[in-house]
Amino acid sequence: MGNGCIEFRQRVSVDGYRWEKIYVPRFARHVLGLFEGGRSPLGDMDSDSPEYWAILDEMWDQADSQAETHREYAPEDVPDLYRAFANTAISQDGVLEFAGRYGLLGVGETIPVEEETNPDGSIWREYGRVEYAHEWKRQILLMRGCVEILDLADDPFRPDAIALSKIFTRRGGRWHVRSAYMPGYRGQGKIEHIDLEIWSDDPHSFASIGHDDVLSVATEFLRIVADRQLSGTTTASVVRDGDSGTLSLVYRPTSLLGAMWLQFAKVMTHTDNTRACLECGRTFEFQRRTRLFCGEACQKKFNRKKIRTSRKSGVISET
């Protein structure tokens, strides 16, 4: 177990997930929620039958023992999982597809989804885990925006300051971000540009950045978002290996969302020195940050293509 490794296994319901509209007293309205598992197969049975309750209890016990109701995987082993999440279509089908493959985000709550009176007068409740559609939307948009900014700021060839200046602007002598990059944020009302000095809670973090240094603004924005997303979704432990006695640092995300933001943070801080090859897309480990290809073959292939395109467009003359 190396330092800085991640310990987290995500459970995915083998029955998949389903959307349902539920009444949420907190919102005082019906809200679309994502539930774990298929519908209860006992739903149509006669609730007065004594056998019904016996079968139900048995089923309930089985569910508790996790008998093949879930499969597990390690999100860390899925390269660029945070990008798959960022690219998830914001639709009922898009979310179902992502959740069916990678599981719930861990932003939900457990609520009673069914309630019946037992023959003896006691109340039977079935609980389900629910994650609200609007929360999924907010989380996808936040990750999508941050990935876009990361790619613009951390482009291996050259950061794209012009594109970044369309996202981060100076207004009244202070740095602002377009509100689309802060989905669900209502701290400053319904406005299109959010004052980053107020949002950051730290008067120095943006005020000290020069008026033409949009790259530093973008980096600071990503730092704060990643930091906030990690807090509460990821913990860390120092563990001792039983046999060798060596100590190591282990990150423990408490949810899929935490695991994905940890992956994002590792890429952002270059803790994770793997990258997708610019030519073939295969993930490789690099020693030098400037390395962009998995091997010489891909680099040559990429360069040949580049020369061909520039010849055609006539932009660069051959030397």
Residues at the contact surface with Zn ion, assessed by CB under 5 A: 277, 279-280, 294, 298
Report in angstroms how near the CB of residue 281 gets to Zn ion at its nearest.
7
Sign of the dihedral defined by the CA atoms of residues 176, 178, 184, 186, in that order: positive
> What residues form DSSP beta bridges with 275?
284
Pair of tokens at residue 132: 């609200």
**Residue number, 124 or 302, with CB nearest to Zn ion:** 302
CB of 277 to Zn ion, least distance (A): 3
Residue 60 CA to residue 114 CA, distance in Å, equals 14
Measured from the CB of residue 298, what is the shortest distance to Zn ion in angstroms? 3
Distance CA 315, CA 317 (A): 7
Nearer to Zn ion, 191 or 297 (CB): 297
| Cβ pair 270, 150 in contact under 8 A | no
Distance CA 290, CA 264 (A): 19
Contact of 68 with 11, CB cutoff 8 Å: no
Pick the closer one to Zn ion by CB: 153 or 277.
277
CA-to-CA separations, 109 to 48, 127, 142, 260, 284, in angstroms, rounded:
30, 10, 21, 20, 38
The nearest distance, CB 13 to Zn ion, in angstroms, is 36
Q: How many residues does the chain have?
A: 319
CB 285, CB 272: distance < 8 Å: no
Q: Residue type for 314, please?
A: G
As measured in angstroms, the least distance from the Cβ of 7 to Zn ion is 30
Give the integer Cα–Cα distance in Å for 117 and 111.
17
Nearer of residues 80 and 220 to Zn ion, judged by Cβ? 80
As measured in angstroms, the least distance from the Cβ of 270 to Zn ion is 20
C-alpha to C-alpha distance for 27 and 45, rounded to whole angstroms: 32
Q: To the nearest whole angstrom, how small is the minimum distance from the Cβ of residue 282 to Zn ion?
A: 5
Rounded Cα distance, 36 and 96, in Å: 10
Residue closer to Zn ion by CB (options 105, 298) is 298
DSSP annotation of 189: -
| Residue among 79 and 100 whose Cβ is closer to Zn ion | 79
Least CB distance from residue 306 to Zn ion, whole Å?
15
Which tokens sit at 63? 């569910």
| Beta carbon nearer to Zn ion, 182 or 294 | 294
Identity of the residue, 52 or 284, whose beta carbon is nearer to Zn ion in the bound complex: 284
